[in-house]
């Protein structure tokens, strides 16, 4: 998948690493598939309560979530925003 303003792939902007995790949010499955290596890494979720979103993110991000609770809350709110 490329951006509208260039021929560069969005994946060109992701750091190459075998360690760590990157959470990518997209409303487009096509965009998500263009950014990952394995389709089974796509984790689809629908709208949810803020508390449920925090629990989900905490499970997926483990230690980082414990250390950044206020950022997790803000991220959960942003994910549910239609803006």
Predicted confidence (pLDDT) per residue in 57-72, tens digit: 777 777 666 667 777 7
**Is residue 54 located within the same domain as residue 81?**
yes
3 and 17 inside one domain:
yes
Provide the residue range defining the domain that includes 70: 47-83
DSSP secondary-structure letter at 27? S
Q: Is 38 found in the same domain as 5?
A: yes
Same domain, 32 and 13: yes
63 near 20, Cβ under 8 Å? no
Q: Which of 79, 81, 66 is nearest to 24 (CA)?
A: 79
Predicted local confidence at residue 36, as pLDDT? 83
**Dihedral Cα 51, 52, 56, 59, nearest 10 deg:** 60
| Mean pLDDT for the stretch of residues 12-40 | 82
| 1 or 66: which leads in pLDDT | 66
The residue among 58 and 31 whose pLDDT is bigger is 31
């Amino acid at each position: 998948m490329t951006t509208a303003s260039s021929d560069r792939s969005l994946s060109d902007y992701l750091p190459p690493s075998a360690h760590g995790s990157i959470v990518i949010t997209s409303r487009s499955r096509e965009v998500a598939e263009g950014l990952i290596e394995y389709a089974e890494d796509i984790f689809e979720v629908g709208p949810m309560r803020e508390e449920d979103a925090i629990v989900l993110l905490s499970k997926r991000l483990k230690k980082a979530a414990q250390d950044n609770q206020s950022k997790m809350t803000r991220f959960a709110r942003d994910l549910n925003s239609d803006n």
